[in-house]
Amino acid sequence: MTNLNLWRRKYMSNKGIIILVIIWMLFSLVWFLAGNTVKGM
């Protein structure tokens, strides 16, 4: 039971890190596209 809880906590933390990375990548992409649009104008 303890091992299952530990694994679940580890899995959730990894999932959270992956979600943060995805959000950061999306934010970077939007910022990059916005910067190019401003330069184009």
**pTM, rounded to two decimals:** 0.57
Q: What is the pLDDT of residue 16?
A: 86
Mean pLDDT by 10 residues, the chain (41 residues): 80 86 96 87 70
- Structural domain of residue 36, as residue ranges? 1-41
Number of structural domains in the chain: 1
Q: What is the pLDDT of residue 28?
A: 96
CA 27 to chain centre: 9
Q: What is the pLDDT of residue 18?
A: 92
Q: What is the pLDDT of residue 30?
A: 95
Cα dist. 41→14, 26, 32, 34 in Å?
Answer: 41, 23, 14, 11
